[in-house]
Amino acid sequence: MIGRHRNGTLRLEFGTGDIGIHIGGSEGCGFLAFAGQEPRKPGIPEDWGSVKSVFPDEFPVSMTFTSVESVDVFIRTLAIAKKIMTGEIVLRTTEG
């Protein structure tokens, strides 16, 4: 779901297949773009030949990468989030 937090900031909640993830870019720049869609089983298309090129300004939310290293950091961060979800990593709470 693409929505908003109570304070108005944007929120992307993945898990029900209702956010389409689109890719695009050119040499030196890549991006992911996100748009709402009818819920479906989450997955990646098998046939990349059927995927059309898109532009980030066509979507309500996009992430642009201008270095390969930043893509690697994002992938590693997602891997850590997955470990937190499965209980493999437990975050400490902050007492305030």
Residue 89 lies in a domain: no
Residue 6 lies in a domain: yes
Residue 95 lies in a domain: no
pTM (2 d.p.): 0.80
pLDDT value of position 48:
65
Q: Are 12 and 44 in contact (CB under 8 A)?
A: no
Q: Which domain holds residue 20?
A: 2-67
How many folded domains does the chain comprise?
A: 1
Q: Are 57 and 34 in contact (CB under 8 A)?
A: no
Beta-bridge mates of residue 32 = 23, 63
If we measure between CA atoms, which residue out of 69, 74, 3 comes closest to residue 32? 74
Residue 74 lies in a domain: no
Residue 33 lies in a domain: yes
pLDDT tens string, the chain, 96 residues long: the values are: 999 999 999 999 999 999 999 888 889 999 999 999 999 888 877 666 666 778 889 999 999 999 999 999 999 999 999 999 999 999 988 775
